[in-house]
Every structure is written in C-alpha cells, then in structure tokens.
Amino acid sequence: EARRIIDIRSKKDASTEDPVRKDILDGLRSSPPTLPTYILYDAQGLQLFDAITRLECYYPTASEISILTQHAKDLAASLPDNSTVVELGCGSLVKTRLLLYALERLRKKTSYYALDLSSSELKKAINGLDSGLKYVSVIGLHGTYDDGRKWLARARSKSSGPLVVLWLGSSIGNLSRDDAASFLSQFVKESLVAGDMFVIGIDRRNDPDIVWKAYNDDLGITRKFILNGLNHANRHLDQVFRLEDWEYEGVYYKRGGYHEAFYIAQRDVDMRGIVENESGHFPAGARIRVEQSWKYSPREAAILFDRCGLFPVQRWTDAAGMYDLHLLHV
C-alpha cells in the first residue's frame, strides 16, 4: 500500500505576478548580480543533484553516510520515545533510512515526516522504504522549507510530544552565516519548544583542493546541474538565457570558508530588454552568482548554535574528520 503524502504548499494568489520571475529579476538587478539558489532544484535539477551525491569526489554525502552507518544506533537511542521527526529536504532517503531502521530495531515509536519539493521524487523515496516497519510510521510532506516550518508550528500547537527536526547534507551551507542563524532561530522561536531537538549535518572547512574538486567533477555533472538552473529560469523569463552564452565556474574562498558557483558570460550578453537598465548588460567574463556553500569549523558551528538558542548534546564525526553530525536541544 502506498504511503501518504500531504500537500502543505501555501496557496498562491493567481492574480499576482509569477514570484519566481520576480526573484530572478530582483537578483539580476542587484549588485553583484545573482540568481536565486532554488532555481537549481526543478525536477531535472533534483535528479542531477542526486547524481552528484553519488560521485566519489562529492565527499559530504559519503562522509555523512559513514557517520550514520557507524552511529545511527547511538543517534536513535538519543532521540525521545514517541517523537515526531520532520526532515527538511529528504531527497532519496539513502541516508535517513539508516536512522529509521535503527529506530525500528530499537522499537522506538516514531512518526517520521519527509518534506520535499518534488512530490514524484518524494513518492518514490518513501515507498522505497521497507514496507514492514512496525514502530516507525512514514508520511510525506510536499512543500518548501517555509511551508514545513509553518506546518511544524501547527503540529507543535496540536501535540505535546517531542519534535525533532532533521536537516542533513550540509544544506545549511547554502545560506550565508547570518541567514543560517536567522533560519535556525526562526524554527526555534516559531515552531519548537524546550526539549525539542535538531539534528544537523555540516561540512567542515576541509582542504581547499578537496572542496574545489567536490564542486568541479571530471564528469561534468555539477556543471550540468548548475547550467540547468538557466533552463529553469528561462521557463519564467521568456527564454532570455541562451545556454551557449554561459559557462559554469566554481571558486573556493579559503579564508571565508565557502564555495561559490557562478555563470560566466562567454561573450557580450545584452538582457536590457528584460532587465531595463545597465545591469542588464553582461560583458564577456561577467559573473552571476547562483550558489554559496559555506563550511563550518567545529568552533564556527558552536558559535552558530549559540546564536540560535540551540544547545549541543552530541557530535559525531567521520573517521577522516571532514564532516560533523550535531545533535542539539532547544
């Protein structure tokens, strides 16, 4: 029997203009010009990202899997009984299943809610889990992080059982350090109460060459993933990006501890027809930023949690010391 998916997407007002188009235009007009990172995650982008996580050079996934393979039982044992676990961006569930099966083996009653942007991927993922689970119930939530936070606030007001927010894959790295702090704080303030928990996986400030290679694979999957964002943008912008005008470039900033993904103009590109001023002109070599991936030393992670009212309970690290899984208390 297929598992249930709840549509929690906020209803859009059909009379207002396309919000994605607005975000794209706002980004192109800002200086330096940017495109919203979420344009990378249309159906095609979600599949390409899944392919990235299986690349040998993209070590964050392998590191997180090795931590969960070794410590899923400890993590499961640290979670309260009868908890509601909500995962932000569950993806293919390759990693999460390690935790869910550990909870099942410990016979810990758990309601697991998997939140994701794509209902078709979500359906595949949750129905791919063992159908014989007795202690762990699995339900899909179709929506954005924002929808998820609001849903959690409602769940919080209806039930007094413990809530656990699971945020794996170092997705927190795609927010600036300040935005990451606001994002976590908002969850803590609006959707959680004392005793609730957060489980967060975060990539460390690793060897710059290794980080750069993680975002610049020889097979060109990352390049495809980033360039596909322009296809997505084109669907909201009357096809203004000609794919042959743009190339991908990745840069790692060692001091700041973050990687940036850019579109580089391959020739003079004039988009003043759509971005109605000088900012619509991109000379050859001009860059549009689409993604940042911030890395955290253990000390930087501790400072972040402290800013957000989250208290460290446990930290698990992979054998190579490249990645941390944090268990935190509100």
Q: Which residues bind ligand AVI (CB under 6 A)?
A: 52, 169-171, 173-174, 215, 222, 291, 293
Nearer to ligand AVI, 213 or 330 (CB): 213
CB of 177 to ligand AVI, least distance (A): 14
Nearer to ligand AVI, 174 or 186 (CB): 174
CB of 225 to ligand AVI, least distance (A): 6
CB of 192 to ligand AVI, least distance (A): 22
CB of 125 to ligand AVI, least distance (A): 16
Whether the bond between 80 and the residue before it is cis, its omega within 30 degrees of 0, is no
Nearer to ligand AVI, 58 or 196 (CB): 58
- Please state, in angstroms and rounded to a whole number, the distance separating the CA atoms of residues 300 and 308: 13
Nearer to ligand AVI, 191 or 206 (CB): 206
Nearer to ligand AVI, 214 or 269 (CB): 214
Residue 110: strand pairing partners: 83, 136
CB of 295 to ligand AVI, least distance (A): 9
Nearer to ligand AVI, 135 or 145 (CB): 145
Residue number of the CB closest to ligand AVI reads: 293
Residue 138: strand pairing partners: 112
CB of 10 to ligand AVI, least distance (A): 22
Cα-based angle 91, 78, 186 (whole degrees, multiple of 5):
60
